[in-house]
Amino acid sequence: MQENDMLFLGLDSSTQSLKAIVMDQGLKVVYTASVNFDTDLPEFGTEGGVHHGPDGLTVTSPTIMWVAALDLLLKKMAEDRFDFAKVAAVSGSGQQHGSVYLKKGGIKALNGLTAGNSLRSQLEECFSIPDSPIWMDSSTGQQCKMLESALGGAQAVADLTGSRAYERFTGNQIAKMFQTKRQGYEDSERILLVSSFMASLLVGDYVPIDASDGSGMNLMDLRSKTWNRQAIDATAPGLEQKLGQIVPSHSVAGPIHSYYRDLCGFTRDCLVICFSGDNPNSLAGLRLQRAGDIAISLGTSDTMFGSLASPTPSASEGHIFANPVDPNGYMAMVCQKNGSLTRERVRDEFAGGTWDAFDKALARTPAGNNGNVGFYIDEPEITPPLLQTGVFRFDASGTRLDSFAPDLDARAVVESQFLSLLVHGSNIGLKPAGILATGGASTNKSITTIMSNVFGVPVYAGEQPDSAALGACYRALHGWQCNAAQAFVPFADTVKGAPKIQQVATPNAAAHAAYSAMLDHYRALEGSLV
Ligand code: 5FX
């Protein structure tokens, strides 16, 4: 491989798709490809990449679908004549919290992968629990209570692990598996996150969990970045052995397995750098390096996050994770489960079914919606914690209404999502000086304008909307550089040549004043529902 001809591959195994982004050493994106689970792999019968259980709380994805997606992605890349031989390093992103259960002998199947057969056919029988619980699952309330009572309460769990016990956090999902699918748990040789599972597929071996994604499990000591004995013991017996090690996110997971060399022409030198969660990768992709550099990612879920030097975990909201590009740093994050899909549902029901019509509805309504506030809870919500689904509409006097004029619904869904992020983000130290918007809806000018007005700060958007996959590319290069130097290389050096970001919205003083004036009204209505 020529030193000046190297490529870096970032994969993003998200809720709905598996994407690849490739960049050159000058940080220029040169290739992208993707597989959509619903449309490219219809045989799995997913909706938005998931299956909803009959209880309305359980949400899973068939683990083998993610394997089949990798088969298909590599096939698409080969059809595009992508030059795999130039890839110096691969890293990746996985939807956070999801867990993968490999049965005894799984490691042999991974080690023994042979080109000529698909990954899917070689790994189909490897899972002790074939459906992976994912981040949208909220069925583990009981297990959360048990963890909090074992560790001394919600704040104690937050102080130790960075977050109070959350239903979707992996430790509580594993506790439920132990309690309800005991045989599956016992038969598990290794339990991986989506991120470390995808990396394991590439290395052909079980790879460690990185500290940043490991922070989303309610099992890791946030400060020492090791498994916390009390949390592990309160979750399930024999768990530590099934989880393996935790390592810094820039670590080399291993060389790529010969399967991929034989199948597509990767070279022996190609390194796999530890994969991490989608939010940590987005932090890297957006190069959020100073406190006050905040991003809001408008995806299936909406998340607000930024770097922090010292953590102050809260039992009432948000999360603190280890920083994915600074082994001594942290990041804070607030997550709203009802994001893009909810906005799309409201658009389809009340605003003509197109973004153009939705924008027109926003243009016909004033900032602050004349005091009308709506909470659109299609899925049990994390922030604010509203487990009861439904639409809750209020007028300016706080009276509950059954319906709004349709234009008001369009504005209310966007405004309440951003007001919630403003209120809950500031509670854990996220006070923006500027906001980077990312994810699908970040290209929608009307939505970024409301964001800018709610927070009263400028909003920027990168040229590359897929920040998690891009962050995985940057982390592939970062990990490769750290390995070449045999020392930690500051991430700022890795990304110093990255393209400048564009300002896409400037706050309007009057609109911001309208939002500031309605904060107490918003808080009171939210409080009445929680
Ligand atoms: C973060 O805590 C979340 O649950 C979501 O943002 C998922 O990571 C989405 F994949």
Q: What is the CATH number of the domain that holds 340?
A: 3.30.420.40
Q: Are residues 321 and 270 in the same domain?
A: no
Question: Is any ligand 1 atom within 6 A of the Cβ of residue 278?
Answer: yes
Are residue 307 and residue 180 in the same domain, yes or no? no
155 φ/ψ angles, rounded to the nearest 5 degrees = -70, -35
What's the total number of domains in the chain? 2
Instruction: Please give the Cα distance from 394 to 521 (Å, whole number).
Output: 10
Q: What is the pTM of this model?
A: 0.87
Residues 411 and 298 in one domain: yes
Ligand 1 lined by 281 (C-beta under 6 Å): no
Task: Determine, yes or no, domain membership for 33.
Answer: yes
* Dist CA 355 CA 466 (whole Å): 20
- Predicted confidence at residue 291, as pLDDT, reads 76
- Domain match, 291 and 238 both: no
Q: Is the CB of 297 under 6 A from ligand 1?
A: no
How far is ligand 1, taken at its centre, from the CA of residue 15, in Å? 9
Q: What is the pLDDT of residues 264-276, one digit of tens each?
A: 999 999 999 999 9
Preceding amide of 384 cis, omega within 30: yes
Question: Considering 280, 311, 333, which residue would you say is the last residue of a domain?
Answer: 280
In sequence order, which residues have a C-beta less than 8 Å from that of residue 328 and are 6 or more positions away? none
Question: What digits encode the pLDDT tens for the residues 510-521?
Answer: 999 999 999 999
Q: Tell me what the mean pLDDT of segment 128-133 comes to.
A: 98
126 and 177 in a single domain? The answer is yes
Query: What's the mean pLDDT when you consider all of the chain?
Result: 96
Which residues touch 355 (CB under 8 Å, ≥6 apart)?
347, 444
Contact by Cβ (8 Å): 323, 337: no
Please give the distance, rounded to the nearest whole angstrom, from the Cα atom of residue 304 to the centre of ligand 1.
Answer: 11
Same-domain status, 76 and 185: yes
Indicate which atom in ligand 1 lies nearest the CA of residue 297: 6
Q: Kindly state whether residues 276 and 293 are assigned to the same domain.
A: no
Contact present, 426 and 383 (Cβ < 8 Å): no
Which residue, of 280, 312, 337, is where some domain finishes?
Answer: 280
Residue 335: CB within 6 Å of ligand 1? yes
Lowest mean pLDDT among 197-206, 313-322, 347-356: 313-322
CA atoms within 13 A on the CB side of 337: 23
Residue whose Cα lies nearest atom 10 of ligand 1: it is 95
With CA atoms as reference, report the closest residue to 32 among 373, 360, 508, 468: 468
Give yes or no: residues 352 and 261 share one domain.
no
CB atoms within 10 A of CB 87: 24
Maximum C-alpha span of the chain: 68
Q: Are residues 85 and 217 in the same domain?
A: yes
What's the confidence (pLDDT) of residue 30?
97
Q: Do 192 and 143 belong to one domain? A: yes
Say how many Å lie between the CA of residue 138 and the centre of ligand 1.
Answer: 13
In a domain, 495, yes or no: no
Instruction: Count H helices and E strands in the chain, helices first.
Output: 22, 27
**Are 311 and 407 within one domain?**
yes
How many A from CA of 168 to the centre of ligand 1?
A: 9
Mean of pLDDT values over 239-250:
98
Q: Which residue has the tokens 């153009």?
A: 356
**Cα–ligand 1 centroid distance for 429 (angstroms):** 19
Kindly report, residue by residue over 365-422, the tens digit of the pLDDT: 999 999 999 999 999 998 998 989 999 999 999 999 999 999 999 999 999 999 999 9
* Residue 364: CB atoms within 10 Å: 12
Does some domain include residue 216?
yes
Annotate 485-528 with three-state secondary structure: HCCCCCHHHHCCCCCCCEEEECCCHHHHHHHHHCHHHHHHHHHH
Nearest atom (ligand 1) to Cα of 136: 4
pLDDT exceeds cutoff 90 at 467: no
Ligand 1 atom closest to the CA of 319, numbered from 1: 2
Domain co-membership, 387 together with 263:
no
Asked whether residue 488 is assigned to any structural domain, the reply reads no
Domain-terminating residue out of 224, 250, 280: 280
pLDDT attached to residue 482: 98
pLDDT (0 to 100) of residue 148: 98
- Which domain, by its residues, includes 449? 286-461+500-530
Residue 103 domain-assigned? yes
pLDDT digits (tens, 9 = 90+) for 50-76: 999 999 999 999 999 999 999 999 999
Q: What is the pLDDT of residues 432-452, one digit of tens each?
A: 999 999 888 888 999 999 999
The confidence band for 464, taking pLDDT boundaries of 50, 70 and 90, is low
pLDDT above 70: percentage of residues in the chain: 99
Residue nearest to atom 8 of ligand 1 (CA): 96
Number of neighbouring beta carbons within 10 Å of residue 524: 12
Query: Is the pLDDT confidence value at 3 over 80?
Result: no
How far apart are the C-alpha atoms of 165 and 172, rounded to whole Å? 8
Does 322 map to a domain? yes
Asked which of 24-28, 108-112, 149-153, 381-385 is least confident by mean pLDDT, the reply is 381-385
**What's the pLDDT score for residue 146?**
98
Higher pLDDT, 33 or 427: 33
Q: How far apart are CA 342 and CA 381, in angstroms?
A: 11
pLDDT at 510 (0 to 100) = 98
pLDDT score, position 440:
83
Q: Strand order of the sheet with strand 400-401? A: 373-377, 390-394, 400-401
Phi, psi (5° rounding) for residue 123?
Answer: -115, -5
Instruction: Give the mean model confidence (pLDDT) for residues 455-464.
Output: 86
Q: How far is the CA of 305 from the centre of ligand 1 (A)?
A: 12
- Chain segment 154-175, per-residue pLDDT in tens: 999 999 999 999 999 999 999 9
Question: 418 in a domain, yes or no?
Answer: yes
